[in-house]
Structure 1
Amino acid sequence: MTQLQNDTFLRALLREPVDYTPVWMMRQAGRYLPEYRATRAKAGSFMDLCKNPELACEVTLQPLDRYPLDAAILFSDILTVPDAMGLGLYFSEGEGPHFERPIRTAADVDQLPIPDPEGELKYVMDAVSTIRGALNGRVPLIGFSGSPWTLATYMVEGGGSKNFSKIKAMMFDQPALLHRLLEKVADSVTTYLNAQVARGAQATMIFDTWGGSLAPANYREFSLAYMQRVVEGLTREAEGRKVPVILFTKNGGQWLGDMAKTGCDALGVDWTTDLADARRLVEDRVALQGNMDPCTLYASPERIREEVARVLASYGHGSGHVFNLGHGITPDVDPERPAAMISAVHELSRAYHA
């Protein structure tokens, strides 16, 4: 494999010394970029784009060609796994994802397969290999999956949800059934992420988008326990170096201390938690990733620079910080604004690593 020219991101995740704080953005390949919109139009639909390894590679590299980012992230979707389990994923214009065959009964759970990453999900693996080759060592490639709880919410609800009534009804009324579903999804996620690592992903991230919808005891039992199960099953070394894993629960600031005990290497932090507080909670056991409010990117470059300075000061001195937004970049941001953020991070962070 090609030698990495910039491994700052990987070293920061392992809390090793770095010269500056590395930066990438959740959803950095996306609709805010005109070049992405052009490729998406060429692909025909969002899932056609995901399922075309060459076009998925093209959009993965677009933000790297525009900005000096320190990592690339595979262009895909968290719902590829339940789609490969036979639930019939489709997207309605303006409504988001839906499943034709949601999970409602014990029989539904029992007949769910563990998808073969080199079978039904081969298009994702081919995208990983294609992107890794095209990067040619510029920066590391992040592979990812949704968390078992988050994937299960879509699988049971049949799509997005405001109050998660169907999956919470299962959680309260049929907890054993939900545990069976989550075990199957966790095993699928583990297999899926390990296959990404085998194809060249150099770090992995688990997106727990909906864990923050749970009460603390339910979060630990139905979300965190299954992320830990995934972490324990992951390939943690490849190509002679450690493959770090990042956990991110949106609205999960209160559970960072518990999350740090899972065996992960880093935690994503959204903008509702101060990084200084997060650092105290995790007792420097893991790195932290985040956590500028994405809406900051609607502000002037001068104001963005001030907010970058505040986030960097909040984390403080030493390694173990990857700068990111507290969630994904919003689609209507001016592409010039992320440039101001990235430039400020690279310049202002050096003082914290001197």
Structure 2
Amino acid sequence: MATFPPLKNDLFLRVARGQPAERVPVWIMRQAGRYLSEFRALREKHNFFEMCQTPALAAEVTLQPIMKFPLDAAIIFSDILVIPQAMGLEVTMEPGVGPVLPHPLKTPEDMSRLTYDGSLEYVYDAIKLTREKLEGRVPLIGFAGAPWTLMSYMIEGGGSKTWSKPKRWLYAHPEESKLLLDKITELTIQYLVNQVRAGAQALQVFESHADFLNRDLFLKYSLPYLARISHEVKKQLGDDAVPMIVFPKGAHYALKELGKLNYDVVGIDWTVDPAVAREQIGPNVTLQGNLDPCALYAPQDKLRDLAQGMVAKFGKQRYIANLGHGIYPDTNPENVRAFIQAVQSA
């Protein structure tokens, strides 16, 4: 692996591994994004996936929040849908709409259109460049979407309020669904391994659509693939393995099972009580989360109370402060600063 500048702030990594900490580390999902004027200025000049696929732009965007706020980790600017792209599906990001896949998988026969040799080298190049430009300020997180979440987009063709098309596959085509999930899992494992070899110092797996599954479907079509990812990534990396985070949004019905997976950190959304999460996940797993992103709209004194109350509920050890989902585009950056400062002074 490449040699990079020495790390100056390893607090996030220590807490992710369960080591004692002098304070609570904090970062924010989607911290590099549209709420920053710097990001919007770049976005006016470049389309979304051009920014993802151009290492210099991806590195610049990744560093924007790090240069602005005293965060304890950076996360590479990319998108979970680069995996479907690498599998041969067209993905565009439409303003005001979000991701669109013009030619989704409508029937299991459409799986024959998929390929498994698409290059993601631009992500690895972005990680290498970002590590250099970070100059050791904070660790860099790599990430991927979880198989069920990616399958959802590949079949639905974009966002949805119900995700009924991919869920239909789970009921009507269970074996083909497992085959598709297997293929996505294989590619995701290698993608995450390669991110670490490029310089990522931690990994997060986003199961963003867990809240559309019931417990039985989650245990059958999500949990086994999440387990396989962490097992295989750590097996391949061996001594070079990095802390891994799983974020299954809405999977409040499977906290005990999540605590038994081979992940170092479990991220929880804002609907879960921290005490319940700690009790069910167990004392030997670091927790991450879980402020409601809308709390960042509160007056700063109220926001400070909410953030510090959250820290008090989780406790100051084995805990990484974050939101319960990604930050919203119309969030005031000064409220982001107030949130970070509230956590760090708690």
Please state which band the TM-score falls in when normalised by the shorter chain.
over 0.9
In structure 2, list runs of 5 or more residues that go unmatched. none
The structure 2 residue matched to 1:50, chosen from 30, 49, 52, is: 52
Verify: 1:61 aligned to 2:59, yes or no: no
**Residue 352 of structure 1: aligned partner:** none
- Matched with 1:222 is 221
Aligned to 1:30: 33
SS at match of 2:260: helix
Q: CA shift at 1:239, angstroms?
A: 11
Alignment-mate amino acid for residue 86 of structure 1: G
Q: Residues 109-120 of structure 1 correspond to what in structure 2 (within 5 A)?
A: 109-116=111-118, 120=119
Provide, for residues 91-123 of structure 1, a one-character-per-residue CA deviation record: whole Å limited to 9, x for no partner: 33322212132123333324523245xxx2111
1:25/1:329 contact within 8 Å kept: yes
Q: What is the TM-score normalised by the length of structure 2?
A: 0.95
Q: CA deviation at 1:14?
A: 1.0
Deviations for 1:131-170, whole angstroms, at most 9, x for unmatched residues?
1111121110000000000000000111112212211111
Letter of the aligned partner of 1:80 in structure 2?
Answer: V
Counterpart of 1:296 in structure 2: which amino acid?
A
The residue type equivalent to 1:177 in the other structure is E
Q: Aligned residue for 1:351?
A: none
Q: List runs of 5+ in structure 1 lacking aligned partners.
A: 349-354
CA 1:306–1:80: 2 relative to 1, 3 Å: same
CA distance in 2, matches of 1:55, 1:81: 19
| Per-residue deviation, 1:85 | 0.8
Task: Determine helix, strand or coil for the equivalent of 2:92.
Answer: strand
Aligned to 1:173: 172
Deviations 1:290-346 (A, max 9, x none): 1111111111111111011110111125x2100001111111111111111111111
- Over the aligned positions, Cα root-mean-square deviation in angstroms equals 1.6
Give 1:241 deviation, angstroms: 5.9
**Shift of the alpha carbon at 1:254?**
2.4
The residue that corresponds to 2:120 in the other structure is 121
The match for 1:92 is: 94
**Contact 2:143 2:192 (C-alpha < 8 Å) held by counterparts:** yes
1:227-246 paired onto structure 2 within 5 Å:
227-235=226-234, 242-246=241-245
> Partner of 2:323 in structure 1?
325
Deviation at 1:251, TM superposition (A): 1.2
Corresponding letter in the other structure for 2:11? T
Judge conservation of contact 1:237–1:243 (CA < 8 Å) in 2: no
Mapped to 2, the partners of 1:332 and 1:26 lie a distance apart of 15
2:85: which partner in 1?
83
1 CA distance for matches of 2:236 and 2:131? 17
Amino acid at match of 2:332: D
Contact 1:73 1:142 (8 Å CA) reproduced: yes
Alpha-carbon distance in structure 1 between the residues aligned to 2:231 and 2:105:
26
Query: What CA distance in whole angstroms lies between the structure 2 residues aligned with 1:242 and 1:233?
Result: 11
**Residues 115 and 121 in structure 1, CA contact (< 8 A), matched pair in contact too:** no
Corresponding pairs, count:
343
Distance in 2 between residues matched to 1:103 and 1:237, nearest whole Å = 31
Letter of the 1:65 counterpart: M
Identity value in percent = 44
2:266 is paired with a residue whose SS is: strand
